[in-house]
């Protein structure tokens, strides 16, 4: 048999390269992740408009914004429960089924938000329905991100493991970029009165429709070979996967939870919080702040792919050390030089965004921290619990800290980058469970 006649299945997992099926899996998974994360974050770009439409006109502005962002935060609080439930069935019934369900649970509520009557029509029922839709979105995103990471990690060949997970992470972060660009387009094409009248519905309807299309496209994905092997051996049927995780894998949960704290600091502070910080603290024009943020989000997306490639070549530990050190240095360079010139602001922000791409090491190391039988449940529990806590507390911490020090964002991101470097020195950063064997250990390159 010649080498050209070898099929993917006849080549050992460690030697196999990316094939046509792998590229299809990556493309459909990344596209779905982009659209689903877009659906989750588009709310924040239109929070002010939603506050005016879904709450009484005579309500004080601060209280309206508090309740509007409270509904936004409800999505974060729903993540752990949704993640645990979806992951449980992902370990029991299959990765593909839950992978498809999660994007449906995101697309349908997003579409319904775009069609909801406002307070002027429904009264108090309007914000309650908005809250219910947001809770469903949170439950969906809680299952989507860990599910997507596990799905792709168990599909791609071992030699392209980092690149596969990094590319998927880039697709997910691309949802933030897409949301930012859509928000800029809506605010450019329509006047404020037109946005309040009807144009605010456009991004939600588009997100819902494209999300439902992605649900259809995911029908063409195949169940992961890892789960098929588990199903044949009937592993994971004795007890609830989450019970096994809490009893036998607490060190892995702590490792992934602390990694998620670092990830949440990078995303929430640098990407989501900084545009407002630039405008409120340094009086940077909104247009410049949003343009710089869009470029930083683009470099973040590219950085995730670069980090994934580098992990395959140099090992996760080396990349974590270099990447988090780069985030530490670049964040101080950026925040300490503000406001500076517009050109310096844009390029310094882009540099920070590139190093934020180190967040791709979180799933790269985190997926392998758990054995296959409980991988989905373990990663989902640790990731979503940590993100709900730290992602929700970060804006509060920064708001209070900024009263004393304008460099609070740099200090917070810098401190968490140091934690990331510390986590790189732990055994789980270098060693993990074999992707195809629920019990064997596999050494990751240094």
Please report the pLDDT score of residue 221 as a whole number: 58
Please report the pLDDT score of residue 446 as a whole number: 41
- Cβ(151)–Cβ(95) below 8 Å: yes
3-state secondary structure 86-128: HHHHHHHCCHHHHHHHHHHHHHHHHHHHHHCCCHHHHCCHHHH
Compute the half-sphere exposure of residue 410: CA atoms within 13 Å on the CB side of its CA.
Answer: 17
Compute the half-sphere exposure of residue 130: CA atoms within 13 Å on the CB side of its CA.
Answer: 27
Please report the pLDDT score of residue 211 as a whole number: 80
Q: Is the pTM of the predicted complex or chain greater than 0.85?
A: no
- CA 322, 417, 148, 38: dihedral to nearest 10 degrees? -110
Q: What is the DSSP letter of 12?
A: -
Please report the pLDDT score of residue 436 as a whole number: 57
CA distance 262 to 272: 15
Please report the pLDDT score of residue 99 as a whole number: 63
Please report the pLDDT score of residue 6 as a whole number: 32
| pLDDT < 70 positions in the chain | 1-33, 36, 62, 65-66, 69, 72, 87-99, 143-144, 218-242, 432-446
CA distance 215 to 444: 34
Using CA atoms, how far residue 243 sits from 140, 246, 250, 355, in Å, is 22, 5, 11, 36
Please report the pLDDT score of residue 361 as a whole number: 94
Backbone angles phi, psi at 368, to 5 degrees: -80, 0
416's tokens: 């968490």
Per residue in 220-261, pLDDT (tens digit) is 655 555 445 555 554 445 556 667 777 777 888 899 999 999
Name the CA radius of gyration of the chain, rounded.
22
- SS3 call for 180: helix
Please report the pLDDT score of residue 333 as a whole number: 95
User: How many CB atoms within 10 Å of residue 238?
Assistant: 10
Please report the pLDDT score of residue 65 as a whole number: 65
Q: What is the DSSP letter of 46?
A: T
CA distance 395 to 166: 27
- SS3 call for 1: coil
- Within 8 A by CB and 6+ apart from 155, the residues are 22, 25, 164, 222, 224, 225
Please report the pLDDT score of residue 442 as a whole number: 42
């Amino acid at each position: 048999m010649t080498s050209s006649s070898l099929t993917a299945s006849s080549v050992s997992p460690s030697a196999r390269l990316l094939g046509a099926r792998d590229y299809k899996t990556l493309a459909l998974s990344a596209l779905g992740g982009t659209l689903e994360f877009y659906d989750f974050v588009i709310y924040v770009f239109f929070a002010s408009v939603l506050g005016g439409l879904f709450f009484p006109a005579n309500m004080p502005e601060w209280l309206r914004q508090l309740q509007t962002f409270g509904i936004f935060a409800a999505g974060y609080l729903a993540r752990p429960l949704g993640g645990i439930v979806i992951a449980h069935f992902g370990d029991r019934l299959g990765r593909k089924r839950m992978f498809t369900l999660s994007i449906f649970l995101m697309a349908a509520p997003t579409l319904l938000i775009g069609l909801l009557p406002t307070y002027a029509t429904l009264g108090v029922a309007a914000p309650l329905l908005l809250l219910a839709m947001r809770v469903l979105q949170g439950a969906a995103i809680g299952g989507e991100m860990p599910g997507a990471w596990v799905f792709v990690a168990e599909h791609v060949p071992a030699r392209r493991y980092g690149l596969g997970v990094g590319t998927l992470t880039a697709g997910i972060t691309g949802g933030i970029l897409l949301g930012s660009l859509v928000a800029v387009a809506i605010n450019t094409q329509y006047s404020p009165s037109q946005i309040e009248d009807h144009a605010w519905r456009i991004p939600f309807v588009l997100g819902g429709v494209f999300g439902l299309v992605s649900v259809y496209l995911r029908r063409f994905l195949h169940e992961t070979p890892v789960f098929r092997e588990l199903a044949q051996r009937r592993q994971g049927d004795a007890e609830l996967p989450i019970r096994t995780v809490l009893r036998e894998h607490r060190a892995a949960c702590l490792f992934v939870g602390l990694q998620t704290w670092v990830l949440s600091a990078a995303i929430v502070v640098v990407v989501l919080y900084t545009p407002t910080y630039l405008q409120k603290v340094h009086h940077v024009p909104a247009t410049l702040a949003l343009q710089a943020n869009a470029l930083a989000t683009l470099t973040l997306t590219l950085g995730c792919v670069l980090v994934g490639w580098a992990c395959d070549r140099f090992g996760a530990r080396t990349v974590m050390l270099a990447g988090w050190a780069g985030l530490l240095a670049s964040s101080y360079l950026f925040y300490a030089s503000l406001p500076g010139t517009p050109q310096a602001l844009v390029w310094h922000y882009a540099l920070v965004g590139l190093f934020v791409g180190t967040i791709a090491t979180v799933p790269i190391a985190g997926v392998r921290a758990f054995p296959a039988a409980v991988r989905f449940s373990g990663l989902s529990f640790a990731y979503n619990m940590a993100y709900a806590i730290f992602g929700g507390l970060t804006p509060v911490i920064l708001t209070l800290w900024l009263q004393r020090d304008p460099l609070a964002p740099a200090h917070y991101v810098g401190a968490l980058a140091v934690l990331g470097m510390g986590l790189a020195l732990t055994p789980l950063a270098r060693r993990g469970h074999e992707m195809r064997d629920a019990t064997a250990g596999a050494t990751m390159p240094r």
